[in-house]
Amino acid sequence: MKANLRLAALLASLALAGCLSNPVQMGSPEAKTTATGAAGGATSSGANAQLERCDRPLGTLALLEDQNSDWYRILTGEYRLTSTVPLLRLLVQQSNCFVVVERGRGFQQMTTERALEQSGELRKSSNFGKGQMVSADYGLTPTVIFSARDTGGMGGALGGISRHLGVIGAIGAGVKQREASTMLALVDNRSGVQVSASEGSSSKTDFSIFGGLIGTGAGGGLGGYSNTPEGKVIAAAFTDAYNQMVRVLRNYKPQQATGPHGLGTGGSLGVDGDRAPSAPAAAPTRRRR
């Protein structure tokens, strides 16, 4: 028992010493998510090697995040994470599958500059005239379905079983698992037709011996749970969803219309006592005199 305590004290001291001596690292690999690097035009740098890419863009795209939804309130409140838009902006531009156009907070700045020009406050050569904004062919809507903490069921349990477990109990207390599931929906802005929808998922198991060793009493230690943010799991789930969407869009075929004059002119599901919605109306018959 004393040997285990000495080992725990030694390892804890080494961990603390490492924390105190490590300098600040710019571009630290431990702080990166699956969305990493940069993008400028059609050029990307340091992008995730697993991110799907296109030879040329399929159109322009605006990101539409419902910040009044329940999942967004949980994301920013309980998990203390920020908007998903910057993450998706990076993924989309690095993939070169769409050109991102601004329809978020930056759009307010665009309108402000135009208002300043109309008021005469800007220089004459500022050129903020009409007819320069690019339309958004598509809208991409993200949704976080769920993000669960400690789904593995091992965290904290082994650490409090018995004081005599020592190091073994501490190791078990340092195992935590997290999972996340996300969805993306792509809608054609001109017709309102959904073009594509995809689901992505991600899971991560954190293992930390030091977090468990420090708390071998009842309740166990937090382990790696506090060291890796839930945002990394959600970022990986969105990357997975976007990759799956790009794969199906490479072989995209539009859904065939059921109506006589295209989509929205009648479906193929009729109701009792009426003609099928897609069937043309019968021509009126003339009465014989």
User: Spelled out in words, what is the top-level CATH class assigned to the domain 2-18+35-101+136-250?
Assistant: alpha beta
pLDDT at 58 over 50: yes
Q: Which of 26-40, 122-136, 270-284 bottoms out in mean pLDDT, i.e. has the lowest?
A: 270-284
Distance CA 169, CA 171 (A): 5
225-246 mean pLDDT: 80
pLDDT at 242 over 70: yes
pTM over 0.75: no
Q: Which of 71-75, 187-191, 280-284 bottoms out in mean pLDDT, i.e. has the lowest?
A: 280-284
Q: What is the pLDDT of residue 128?
A: 87
Distance set, CA 268 to CA 32, 193, 253 (Å): 50, 18, 20
- Kindly report, residue by residue over 109-138, the tens digit of the pLDDT: 888 889 888 898 888 888 888 888 999 999
Parse the chain into domains and list their residue ranges: 2-18+35-101+136-250
Q: Which of 52-56, 61-65, 283-287 bottoms out in mean pLDDT, i.e. has the lowest?
A: 283-287
pLDDT grade for 156, boundaries at 50, 70 and 90:
very low
Name residue, tokens 């420090």. 214
Dig out the tokens for 259 from the structure.
């109506």
Could you tell me if 152 and 206 are in contact, meaning their C-beta atoms sit under 8 angstroms apart?
A: no
Could you tell me if 220 and 160 are in contact, meaning their C-beta atoms sit under 8 angstroms apart?
A: yes
pLDDT at 22 over 60: no
